[in-house]
A = this chain, B = another copy of it.
């Protein structure tokens, strides 16, 4: 993913690639090269140190690393309070299609009696459901709560064990894992006599690059913490 991002930045006419930092390399390389923005696709155990250093140095950051709990986000905000001119964008998914899918799911939630999520991924994925599915379920839960929607209708009494997925905030998620798949998600809304389906298919990591470039361009004009790509669209 790191190399892919470097390539995308290098190809963009309005951006300059000034440093590539791999595992074991020093972050100083970025400040030495006068980087205005650092993009972090690392791992949950190092991302907080990276963020602290960048904010301290006054460098804006775009983060695609996962594992941000409410507590971690609070810490980032505290660091940013001391450096009000720095911008940080943390996003669970940089695919513009995925971001729109989540926005539309949140918007549609109040108008339908039922909604379930079917996420489909390659069989090497270790977590089920996917982070994007969990995030979508929470957005839907909040939108339904705000609109005063009652619990979804479900007469199931006779059940079996062994399904892959989850129930998050009253929203059922189905996690399909199969060879041949890449990364796909379907949000199915239903009410009397009709259904509305929003589906995102990602075939290639290249699909995340327009979103990463957008975040790089925007973060320099957005001091403070921005969560998700939605506010940038």
Contact = CB atoms under 8 A, between A and B. Distances in A.
Contacts of A203: 180, 182, 193-195, 203
Given A172-B163, A176-B118, A153 B123 contact: yes
Nearest to A120: B188
Give the dominant DSSP class at A's interface. mixed
A14 interface: no
A174 B177 contact: no
Contacts of A3: none
Nearest to A183: B194
The complex is assembled from copies of this chain, and their number is 4
A161 B155 contact: no
Contacts of A95: 194
Given A163-B167, A167-B162, A179-B192, A114 B104 contact: no
B180 A100 contact: no
Interface residues of A, number: 77
Contacts of A114: 123, 177-180
A205 B178 contact: no
Contacts of A197: 197-201
Interface of A: 95-98, 100-101, 103-104, 107-108, 111-116, 118, 120, 123-129, 152-168, 172-182, 188-210, 233
Given A114-B177, A193-B204, 9 more contacts: A113-B178, A152-B179, A162-B166, A162-B167, A174-B174, A179-B190, A194-B207, A197-B199, A199-B199
